Every structure is written in structure tokens, then in C-alpha cells.
Structure 1
Amino acid sequence: MFGKTINEISLNDTAYFEKTLTQSDVFLYAGISGDNNPAHINEVYAKESIFKERVVHGLLTAGLISAVLGTQLPGPGTVYLSQDLKFLKPVRFNDTIKAEVIVVEIDYDKNRIRLNTICTNQNKEIVLTGTALVMPPRKRMDI
């Protein structure tokens, strides 16, 4: 696995990671993060919510973006500097989410890359959008 330097990245380069988010993922995330909001873990409560069922944590979904950035584009050695997010639709248990990143700006002087970030479900509905700013490794990283 290699981390790409800024000189190995071009505008419109893309990468993605896809995962089906399960009840186990949600409970593990709740335990790790401490976010025990009943909308995610309490079925009785969630039935009375606007979603009518339990939903996946928004930041668990957004974490799939981090997986793409840290393992593929730019990859190992990348420093995640910032991320803005807009949550458009709930992610439900057992939805398969595709997290995709697209290079939209390269700042060679500051060694920064700006990427559009998009998460879609198995029905190709956009559930999350945003923009990430990262610093790729200065030298090729072989992990």
C-alpha cells in the first residue's frame, strides 16, 4: 500500500470505499464514541422518532471518507486537516454506503489537496456530501 505524494495526484482523481453498515457497527461505534443517542441504539425510542427506526450515526458514515483518504487517495501518511459535512438522508441499518472522494484543488506550494466527498447508499441516493482538506505525504510511503 502506497501513499501518493502531491506530484502523483491529479485533478479529478477519484477513489472509493464501500461497506454495509450493520447493527454491530452501530453498537461498536456507540461504545467507542460514547454516543449512545437512543435514535441509534433503542428500537422502541427510534420507532417514535422522525425516522421511525434506528439509524446509523452520521459520523460513522462520515468515517468511511476517512478510510478512503487514509488508505487510497492520497493514502498512508495523509494528514486529515478539515472536513465539512452535510447530512442529506438517514443511513439505515444494513445500507451499503459508498464513500467517494474526488480531487478538486491542488495547492503545490502548501502541499494541500481539497476533495469533494460524497456518500451514497445502495439505491444511489446521496446521503452525505462535503469537502475535505488533506496534506498528502511529502515522500512516497510504502506500508
Structure 2
Amino acid sequence: MLDNLPRGTICIEDIEMGMSRHLRKQVTDHDIALFAEVSTDRNPVHLDDAYAQDTIFEGRIAHGMLTAGLVSAVIGEQLPGHGTVYLGQTLKFLAPVRPGDTVLAEVTVTGIDIAKRRVTLDCRCSVDGRPVLAGEAKVLAPSRKFD
């Protein structure tokens, strides 16, 4: 299940302070298995129910970077969108995401440097209103001048 705003590109010339975009995605067992395969991170806390039950999480959790990837999806598909180049990202993992959880990933513009085409974005993810991830991204936004 993926619920998001229209995809595309917002050029640096059109980005405004406070502009925000989001997506919602239910994290499935299949997503976790695919992420483990692609990343080669097969930590059993993500994949093995019996193992995960005896951890501080008391059950399986999604990879933190899978959740962070949803922020990347908002940035790369919506704000600024296609043609965006990541310059940096900070992340704080605040709570686990479990199989079946629906994550709301949101980004909001907090800084703009038009001359350098740089945008700073507040990034956050939540599950049922509970914060699970917070951070900041710095990106190089596309420009109509370079079409």
C-alpha cells in the first residue's frame, strides 16, 4: 500500500520555505526480506521471529535504513523530485517500525540557497502519530537553467 502526492520535479526557482510533501507506506514482511537481500543485512532481529522475541524489541522490526529510504523516496520523487542530488543526511531512529506498520514519511523545506541550488529539509517518519525517525537532509535541487 503506497499513498503519496503526485511525483515529478519542483525546481529550485519554485521551492518555498515551509513547502512539504509526504508518502505513506505499509511495511510488509516482503519489503523487509527484499531489503535484507539487497543490502545483505540479514540481522535476525529483522528476519527471525524466535530470535527477535528475545531482544529489547520483543519481536521483529524493519531495518532502520528501510524506513530512512522512504524519506529518500519523498525527496527523489516529490520534493524537490526528479534530478535531485543528495548532499547529506542526518538520522535519529526514535522507535522501531514493525512488519505491518504504516509509515508516514514527511519532508519540509527549512532552508534555501538559490544561488547554490541547495535545499535543507526537515525529515521525519511516524507510525500512528508516534515519531520513529527524525533528521535533516541537504540536497542539490534541479533548476530550469540546466534543463
| 1:136 matched residue in structure 2 | 141
For 2:120, give the aligned amino acid: R
When residues 30 and 141 of structure 1 are mapped into structure 2, their CA distance, relative to the original with a 3 A threshold, is: farther
The answer as to 2:67 corresponding to 1:46 is no
Aligned residues: 141
- When normalised by structure 2's length, the TM-score is 0.92
Question: Which 10-residue stretch deviates more, 68-77 or 1-10?
Answer: 1-10
**Structure 1 length as normaliser, TM-score?**
0.95
Contact 2:13 2:143 in 1 (8 A): no
In structure 2, relative to structure 1, the CA distance for the partners of 1:77 and 1:140 (3 Å cut) is: farther
CA positional deviation for 1:140: 7.9
- State the secondary structure of the residue aligned to 2:86: strand
Counterparts of 2:34 and 2:9, CA distance in 1? 28
The superposition leaves residues 110-141 of structure 1 with CA deviations (integer Å, 9 ceiling, x where unpaired) of 110000000010x2000000000011112289
Structure number with greater CO (CA < 8 Å, separation at least 6) is 1
Letter of the structure 1 residue corresponding to residue 28 of structure 2: T
Please give the residue correspondences for 1:81-100 in structure 2 after superposition, counting only pairs within 5 Å. 81-100=87-106
- Report if aligned partners of 1:5, 1:140 keep a CA contact under 8 Å in 2: no
1:7 to partner: Cα distance: 1.1
Judge conservation of contact 1:4–1:141 (CA < 8 Å) in 2.
no
Q: Could you say what secondary structure the match of 1:2 adopts?
A: coil
2: CA distance between counterparts of 1:73 and 1:141? 17
Quote the offset at 1:98 in angstroms: 0.6
Please say if residues 3 and 136 of structure 1, whose CA atoms lie closer than 8 Å, have aligned partners that are also in contact: no
Distance in 2 of aligned mates of 1:74 and 1:18: 18
Q: 1:140 to 1:64 in 2, by over 3 A?
A: farther
Check if 1:73 corresponds to 2:79: yes
**Aligned structure 1 segments of 4 or more residues deviating by more than 4 angstroms:** none
Query: In the alignment, which residue of structure 1 is the partner of 2:28?
Result: 22
Identity of aligned residues (%): 45
Q: Is the 8 A contact 1:47 1:54 kept in 2?
A: yes
Counterpart of 1:105 in structure 2 is 111
Answer yes or no: is 1:8 the counterpart of 2:18: no
Looking at structure 1, the residues matched to 86 and 9 of structure 2 have their Cα atoms a distance apart, in angstroms, of 13
